[in-house]
Amino acid sequence: MRVRQLTAAAAALLLAAVLGGCSDRPAPARPPAPEPAPEATAATGDVRPADRAAVRDGGTLRWAVDRVPATLNVYQPAATADSALLAHALYPSLFRPDGHGRLVPDPDYLAGAESTPPGQRPQVVTYRLNPHAVWSDGTPLTAADLIAQRAALSGLDPAYRGGHPAGYDAIDSIGQGADPHEVKVTFRRPCADWPSLFGPLYPAAETSTAAAFNQALAGGGHLGAGPYTVSRYDAEDGRVTLERNPLWWGDRPKADRIDFLAAAPERRLDALDQDLLDIAPVTAAVDRAVPPAPSASPSAAAPPAAAPPAAAPPAAAPPAAAPEAAALALRRAESLPGITVHRAAAASLTQLTLNAARGPLTDPALRLALGRAVDRRRVAAAALTPLGVAPAALGSHLLAGDQDGYRDNSAAAGPADAARLFDEAGWKRPDGGGTRAKDGKPLTLDLLVPAGSATAKRTADALTAGLAEQGVALRTVTAPADTFVKHHLAVGDYDLALFSWPAGPSPASEQRPAYAKPRPDPDGTLDPGSNYARSGTEEIDRLFDRAAGELDRATRLDLLQEADIRIWQLGHSVPLYQRPELVGVRSGVAGAGVWGFDWPRFQDVGWAVTP
């Protein structure tokens, strides 16, 4: 059985990366439009605006990361969220997401890009590379770089050890167009997610052979093509220093230098307080705060140091104490002198997953009743309000509330009267209340949550209280991050589980593995892959495949809405809310905060001009 590994991005709740592909299947007729979303919000993120005219030239920014990445190649197994962060400053991405999760061309790298219209075969995408875009040795970006990356990521050569992002396997050929700055990519089957390709793009020297690709991309001496280049890469000291790229052709970067400093989450508030950091994600510092020892003050600072300490695994707080410790940590973060805590919903969907292969949840009628019994607004309020994040409940498995195309499809799960659904499924409540039962067996279920997370604890408490009112008893079971997937989700050792999936700009391919119908291994064992709920249908798979190959945006969104409706009707899981994100930013730093779907425009981040 394949076991999905946790990524370093799983700081507060579980985050799992998902991959998929494009399709050549025809699209079905459009389904009726579901209900409009009552709680869709504005563009995700909370970033201090960066008017370049108001940002001074020069200065150094100190930016917290979990650790110095083992590689900057985001397609290698050792890559982390910090790998991706640094890669955005060092390497091209032909497209980048906007605040609503839509991929738009980055003019620093693209003068234009267009695909042949829907229905025309084969699909050909023509890229016009910015003629000023060059690698750090002065050579221009060319078709050769795209050709090498496609070879590395298509999965056609098993010697390349890395991920296979959606779309690369759909490419038939890549070649130069009318001049060296024009690149034509021909697909063997339609690929709606073609804008997500070549982001980031690595130089052919790093990807043209399996031996080159499989080497860890770390340290200096590597070609880049971003606003910054690496001047120091010191894993032992916990520091990566970036300096302005002297060959950068776009807007001149405002900061002379950015120091990415390894800082364990539990030490970041101390580091901000001691003026050792200027930008620091503090979600984990708050969410996983450990109650102070009886003799210690909650605001006691660690001894001064030249740099924040190297990352270390945070201690797991006792679940019962986590909310109180988290509240103290948040108050401390908000009171730090010269620090503003930016907060917003992240591009990540927290859901309650129902294990369809265990116990009474094998009955889809009971799963539907449970889904209807969950008060999503109550749960979102309990989880997010203490963090100062707007408590918007989610109604889609596939799209975030601030994402282009979002709709609330929860009505597809059936009548809102959960009590009636429980009764019809045979789970009756004793006269006078109490726990429902069927054939003498009470409806008591285990709820698996990440250990030491205050947000997970509040969510679990709200779920437990709300479902108890419907006659369902929950027993909370906690598991640390290193065993959450391998020992529980992957082997089906849970009834209900609380975790998050990332919401990306290409849901047709990115979300498919989470809902794909489980298939048997050669030995006959059912392999859930990344579908930990273990429920799926051929129809849902076809809808995802058709959406991944549909070039017409409106039709593609309709297919995704229909897939979401079918997931609701299957009783697979219950979307709850977008995972919260908190970032501490020092006064005077512009262009920083919570980016949501977007990522930093590094050339704009810097120190504001002093009035």
- Work out the angle at residue 345's Cα, subtended by the Cα atoms of residues 343 and 350, and round it to the nearest 5 degrees: 135
Evaluate the CA torsion angle 434, 440, 443, 446 in order and state its sign. Answer: positive
Task: Work out the number of other CB atoms within 10 angstroms of the CB of residue 491.
Answer: 13
Q: 313-317 long-range contacts, Cβ below 8 Å, gap at least 24?
A: 314/264, 314/265, 314/266, 314/284, 314/288, 314/290, 314/452, 315/266, 315/290, 315/452, 316/288, 316/451, 316/452, 316/480, 317/288, 317/289, 317/290, 317/291, 317/452, 317/454
Alpha carbons 439 and 366: distance in angstroms, whole number: 14
pLDDT for 292 equals: 66
> Strands, DSSP E only, in 480-539?
496-502, 519-520, 526-527
Q: Are strands 60-65 and 257-262 parallel, antiparallel or unpaired?
A: parallel
Q: Residue 606: which H helix or E strand, with range?
A: strand 606-607
Which amino acid is residue 573, in one-letter code? S
- Give the pLDDT confidence score for residue 521 in this predicted structure: 83
The whole-angstrom separation of Cα 509 and Cα 79 is: 20
How far apart are the C-alpha atoms of 448 and 479, rounded to whole Å? 7
Predicted model pTM: 0.88
Do the beta carbons of residue 532 and residue 448 sit within 8 Å? no
Cα 338 to Cα 272: distance, rounded to the nearest angstrom: 9
Tokens (6 digits) for 326:
């988290």
Q: Read off the pLDDT of residues 189-202 as tens digits, 9 standing for 90 and up.
A: 999 999 999 999 99
Q: How confident is the chain (611 residues) per 10-residue block, as mean pLDDT?
A: 31 30 33 32 68 94 97 96 97 94 96 96 98 97 98 95 91 97 97 96 96 94 96 97 98 98 96 98 94 48 35 39 84 97 94 97 97 97 95 96 93 92 96 92 97 95 98 97 94 96 91 94 86 97 97 96 98 97 96 93 94 70
Query: Can you tell me the distance from the alpha carbon of 272 to that of 585, in angstroms, rounded to the nearest whole number?
Result: 9
**Three-state DSSP state, 466:** helix
Task: Please say whether the beta carbons of 352 and 576 come within 8 A.
Answer: yes
Residue 184: other Cβ atoms inside 10 A: 16
Over residues 28-82, the pLDDT tens digits come to: 222 223 223 334 344 468 997 778 999 999 999 999 999 999 999 999 999 999 9
pLDDT at 524 (0 to 100)? 80
Q: How far apart are CA 103 and CA 41, in angstroms?
A: 19
Q: Which residues of 451-484 are buried (b: 16+ CB within 10 A; e: fewer)?
A: bbbbbbbbbbbbbeebbeebbbebebbbbebeeb
DSSP result, 322-338: HHHHHHHHHHHHHHSTT
8 A C-beta contact, residue 154 and residue 164 = yes
Can you tell me which residue has the tokens 């917290």?
A: 64
Give the DSSP H/E element, type plus range, for residue 449.
strand 444-450
- Cβ proximity of 194 and 548 under 8 Å: no
Residues 6+ apart with CB under 8 A from 233: 68, 218, 219, 220, 240, 241
In DSSP terms, 574 is beta-bridged to: 352
Compute CA distances 586 → 349, 408, 430, 582, whole Å. 28, 37, 57, 13
Bridge partners (DSSP) listed for residue 590 = 606
| Domains in the chain: ranges and CATH | 346-580 (3.10.105.10)
Look at residue 304 in the predicted model and tell me its pLDDT: 32
Inter-helix orientation angle 454-468/322-335, to 10°: 130
Identify the CA nearest to 130 among candidates 105, 109, 112, 104. Answer: 109
Which pair of structure tokens corresponds to residue 410? Answer: 């929860």
